[in-house]
Amino acid sequence: MYDYAHSNRTCMFRYMEEAMSERMVLIGDLVGSRSLPDRAEVQRRLVAAVEAANAERAEALAAPLALTAGDQVQALLADPSAAVDLVTRVSDALRPVGLAWGLGRGPLTTDPSPDVSAMDGPCFHRAREAVEDAAREGAWLAARGFSDVDDRVLSGLFRLLGVVRAGWTDTQFDYVRASRDRTQREVAAMFERDETTVSRTLSRAHVRDLLEGEEAARALLAAYREGREAAGRARETVTAT
């Protein structure tokens, strides 16, 4: 007699192994690094930005952001949705120097390590391909290794976010950056401006559209983490039976 229960458990284990093996890698690459007039200063700013991002989002990193090859940063993510904050914070810190980003999903074929440069696998290969795509197309971030649809959605979202950011004046950038953890009244006091001016400037910077786009990207990426955690819970349930 065919053992349906055994077959179902086998299929579930196969699904869970696949879900649990998928990892997310984020890679950022300085745009035009060889032609920068003060490469050493940019390097110092990049180091400081990486250290700050690692301190702020330590719980979301399986292996922290680290400089590799001088002008590139890489991280293995524990929480995929953290990619939005990491990309934003490091890019803000380096402005006006640009970065192209790649987000890759796939298996890790080496042992996990706190040293991102000690690991390899399709998740890294796809992230490298993605950052090359972004750099070639002048996009802020490209994604590879998710579903075909989600690759396009994530890449499209970040392309639009990058276009919004690229259109900011210095004042708009300053106000948007300050408003992420302050009220408009506090931003106005910080820059010694009236609230109406700050509100108008943020509106022209399309800050509401920007934040909605960032939240949409977080939600999509968070769903991949939830799938991983659901697979882990299913594994425990099936093992117990």
Residue 198 lies in a domain: no
Average pLDDT in the 64-84 region?
93
Structural domain that includes position 71: 4-168+205-240
Residue 227's pLDDT band (cuts 50, 70, 90): low
Task: Report the b/e string of 203-231 with b at 16+ CB within 10 A.
Answer: eebbbeebeebbeebbebbeebbeebeeb
Residue 238's pLDDT band (cuts 50, 70, 90): very low
Do residues 73 and 90 touch, judged by C-beta distance below 8 A?
Answer: yes
Average pLDDT in the 191-201 region?
97
Q: Is the pLDDT of residue 113 over 80?
A: yes
Instruction: Give the other-Cβ count within 10 Å of 9's Cβ.
Output: 14
Residue 215 lies in a domain: yes
Lowest mean pLDDT among 88-92, 106-110, 200-204, 224-228: 224-228
Rounded to two decimals, the pTM is 0.84
pLDDT value at position 1? Answer: 41
Residue 177 lies in a domain: no
| Residue 98's CATH number | 3.30.70.270
Average pLDDT in the 91-120 region?
95
Residue 187 lies in a domain: no
Q: How many structural domains is the chain composed of?
A: 1
Residue 2's pLDDT band (cuts 50, 70, 90): very low
pLDDT value at position 47? Answer: 94
The residue with greater pLDDT, 90 or 8, is 90
pLDDT value at position 226? Answer: 65
Q: Is the pLDDT of residue 74 over 50?
A: yes
3-state secondary structure the chain: CCCHHHHHHHHHHHHHHHHHHEEEEEEEEECCHHHCCCHHHHHHHHHHHHHHHHHHCHHHEEEEEEEECCCEEEEEECCCCHHHHHHHHHHHHHCCCCEEEEEEEEECCCCCCCCHHHCCCHHHHHHHHHHHHHHHHCCCEEEECCCHHHHHHHHHHHHHHHHHHHCCCHHHHHHHHHHCCCCHHHHHHHHCCCHHHHHHHHHHCCHHHHHHHHHHHHHHHHHHHHHHHHHHHHHHHHHHC
Residue 180 lies in a domain: no
Average pLDDT in the 29-40 region?
84
**Residues contacting residue 152 through CB under 8 Å, at least 6 positions apart:** none
Which tens digit of pLDDT belongs to each residue from 118-150?
A: 999 999 999 999 999 999 999 999 999 999 999
Average pLDDT in the 160-177 region?
97
Residue 18 lies in a domain: yes
Residue 48 lies in a domain: yes
Q: In what order do the strands lie in the sheet with 22-30?
A: 61-68, 72-77, 22-30, 99-107, 141-144
Residue 119 lies in a domain: yes
Average pLDDT in the 182-210 region?
97
